[in-house]
């Protein structure tokens, strides 16, 4: 079969890239197989040229810049555009983490406010090329926001399954605003995913969750873009929050391909950070990945409130191949990390802050050494979850910044300023 094509990680069956299936008939997950004929130096030079010149054929997209390693071939490309996210360095955050060489790649600065746009531009493009007319996903919020936006751009019908009462306001608002048919399912994310898998199978909807291999192809570009921003000099560590494990898997594939192609000579260690109340992957890691766990998930970081991650096997491979590791942080640590990132003027949603809290934990226990370079990925924008911000600052304690209600008189304002807030 001509590359790129799809291969089942479980039974080895191959399918053409134009297949409408999101997973294999045997229930296994599909991987996209590329057979690029060019070497690393040629590709690197081309990617750098496209970045410098803005790559007008794809509106300067930081995803499609890498198109020969994602979804090559003719046909329309549905780009917003997305990607080109910054690498931030802030002293206040480095101080709190206790580590100097820390950069934050802010994927919350994508068009719909999360890294999902990188996967969605590729998956929606492939779905359109494969003739889909309707798309569907289960989501803790960001996937649905992103899918709704790209479906609107493509003129596709969109059906979204979210756990009722467990989706942050900003995300739900986006799905509605972009015109997706939105189902508030009485159940958690894991239930939503089961339901949407059944529904897409029976109703012929293209499934755009991260089990869809094209999503991971797009999300690989988070890693390639950060390598490119660093002049193809890999950091020692890449730290990422983990829920359904799509991103961890995509990072593993990106690094495997980067090494095979000679884009880089060594690969960073990937760290997946889970919320302690939703940490089946961490549990599995502690047991040497002998077993897969399913848990009832609970955490303030609703984006990663997932108890049965779909991409478990792929993520195990990513951690093993990069010599990486998995850790877990409490909701208290997540909220404190978020307050520090927010107060530095950057901001992120709670799940993203897990990456910063996880980095701090690994610095404190001596896993990350003082001279190591670290890139932590902020996955979502601060405005995604205004509810958590308002609750946090309404209480008293460290890092809190509650608002003050005043009568509309200058003397009142002066009184507040003298009191010190
Ligand atoms: N951070 C944010 C902001 C997310 O929205 C998600 C996942 C993750 C981290 C975890 O990434 O699942 O690839 O391990 N959100 C999905 C959604 C589940 O439906 O929006 P993962």
pLDDT digits (tens, 9 = 90+) for 286-340: 999 999 999 999 999 999 999 999 999 999 999 999 999 999 999 999 999 999 9
Write down the pLDDT at residue 116.
98
Q: What mean pLDDT do residues 3-20 have?
A: 93
Structure tokens at 288: 């040497």
Q: Give whole-number Cα distances, 209 to 166, 316, 344, in Å.
A: 18, 19, 33
Percentage of the chain surpassing pLDDT 70? 100
Instruction: Pick from 242, 279, 379, 381 the residue to mutate for probing ligand 1's pocket: most ligand atoms within 8 Å of its CB.
Output: 379
Instruction: Give the Å distance between the CA of 6 and the centre of ligand 1.
Output: 24
Q: Give whole-number Cα distances, 240 to 7, 252, 270, 351, in Å.
A: 26, 12, 8, 10
Instruction: Give the Å distance between the CA of 417 and the centre of ligand 1.
Output: 41
Find, among 317, 326, 325, the residue nearest to 256 by Cα.
Answer: 317
Instruction: Give the Å distance between the CA of 53 and the centre of ligand 1.
Output: 32
Write down the pLDDT at residue 28.
92
Measure the CA dihedral 22/27/28/30, to 10°: -20
Instruction: Give the Å distance between the CA of 303 and the centre of ligand 1.
Output: 5
Q: Is the pLDDT of residue 157 over 80?
A: yes
Q: What mean pLDDT do residues 231-257 have?
A: 98
pLDDT digits (tens, 9 = 90+) for 71-116: 988 888 999 999 999 999 999 999 999 999 999 999 999 999 999 9
Find, among 170, 378, 345, the residue nearest to 273 by Cα.
Answer: 378
Instruction: Give the Å distance between the CA of 242 and the centre of ligand 1.
Output: 7
User: Is the Cβ–Cβ distance between 274 and 354 less than 8 Å?
Assistant: yes
Find, among 371, 229, 247, 373, the residue nearest to 309 by Cα.
Answer: 247
pLDDT digits (tens, 9 = 90+) for 189-214: 999 999 999 999 999 999 999 999 99
Q: Is the pLDDT of residue 421 over 80?
A: no
Model pTM?
A: 0.98
- Closest ligand 1 atom, CA of 272? 14
Among protein residues, the one whose CA lies closest to atom 6 of ligand 1: 303
Q: Is the pLDDT of residue 408 over 90?
A: yes
Q: Is the pLDDT of residue 2 over 90?
A: no
User: Is the Cβ–Cβ distance between 136 and 201 less than 8 Å?
Assistant: no
Instruction: Give the Å distance between the CA of 142 and the centre of ligand 1.
Output: 7
pLDDT digits (tens, 9 = 90+) for 215-243: 999 999 999 999 999 999 999 999 999 99
Q: Measured at the alpha carbon of residue 323, what is the angle toward residues 318 and 324, in degrees to the nearest 5?
A: 65
Q: What are phi and psi of 333, to 5 degrees?
A: -65, -40
User: How far is C-alpha 41 from the chain's CA centre?
Assistant: 28
- Closest ligand 1 atom, CA of 306? 18
Q: Is the pLDDT of residue 265 over 90?
A: yes
Among protein residues, the one whose CA lies closest to atom 19 of ligand 1: 139
Instruction: Give the Å distance between the CA of 289 and the centre of ligand 1.
Output: 22
Q: pLDDT band for 418, please (50, 70, 90 cuts).
A: very high
User: Is the Cβ–Cβ distance between 284 and 242 less than 8 Å?
Assistant: no
Radius of gyration of the chain (CA): 21
Q: Which residues contact 332 (CB under 8 A, 6 or more apart)?
A: none
User: Is the Cβ–Cβ distance between 171 and 384 less than 8 Å?
Assistant: yes
The binding-site residues of ligand 1, defined as CB within 6 angstroms of any ligand atom, are 114, 116, 139-143, 210, 241-248, 303-304, 349, 351-352, 379-380
């Amino acid at each position: 079969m001509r590359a790129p094509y799809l291969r089942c990680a479980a039974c080895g069956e191959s399918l053409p890239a134009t297949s409408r299936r999101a997973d294999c008939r045997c229930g296994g997950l599909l991987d996209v197989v590329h057979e690029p004929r060019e070497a690393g130096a040629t590709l690197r030079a081309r990617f750098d040229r496209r970045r410098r010149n803005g790559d007008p054929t794809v509106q300067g997209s930081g995803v499609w810049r890498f198109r020969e390693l994602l979804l090559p071939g003719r046909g329309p490309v549905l780009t917003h555009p997305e990607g080109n996210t910054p690498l931030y360095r802030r002293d206040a955050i480095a101080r709190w983490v206790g580590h100097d060489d820390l950069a934050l790649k802010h994927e919350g600065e994508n068009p719909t406010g999360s890294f999902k746009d990188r996967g969605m531009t590729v998956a929606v493009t492939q779905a359109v090329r494969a003739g889909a007319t309707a798309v569907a996903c289960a989501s803790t919020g960001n996937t649905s926001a992103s899918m709704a936006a790209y479906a609107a751009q493509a003129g596709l019908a969109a059906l979204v399954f979210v756990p009722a009462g467990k989706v942050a306001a900003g995300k739900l608002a986006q799905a509605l605003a972009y015109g997706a048919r939105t189902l508030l399912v009485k159940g958690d994310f894991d239930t939503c995913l089961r339901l949407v898998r059944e529904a897409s199978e029976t109703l012929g909807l293209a499934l755009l969750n991260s089990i869809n291999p094209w999503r991971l192809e797009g999300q690989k570009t988070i890693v390639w873009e950060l390598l490119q921003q660093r002049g193809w000099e890999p950091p020692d560590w890449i730290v990422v929050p983990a829920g359904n494990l799509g991103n961890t898997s995509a990072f593993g594939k990106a690094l495997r391909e980067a090494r095979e192609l000679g884009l880089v000579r060594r690969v960073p260690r990937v760290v997946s950070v889970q919320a302690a109340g939703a940490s089946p992957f961490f549990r599995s890691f502690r047991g040497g990945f002998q077993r897969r766990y399913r848990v009832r998930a609970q955490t303030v970081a609703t984006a990663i409130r997932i108890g049965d991650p779909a991409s478990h096997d792929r993520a195990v491979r990513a951690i093993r191949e990069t010599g990486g590791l998995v850790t877990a942080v409490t909701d208290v640590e997540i909220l404190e990390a978020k307050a520090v990132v927010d107060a530095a003027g950057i901001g992120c949603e709670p799940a993203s802050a897990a990456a910063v809290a996880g980095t701090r934990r690994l610095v404190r226990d001596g896993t990350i050494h003082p001279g190591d370079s670290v890139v932590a990925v902020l996955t979502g924008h601060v405005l995604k979850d205004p509810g958590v911000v308002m609750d946090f600052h309404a209480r008293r304690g460290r890092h809190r910044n509650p608002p003050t209600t005043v009568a509309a008189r200058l003397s009142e304002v002066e009184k507040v300023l003298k009191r010190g807030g």
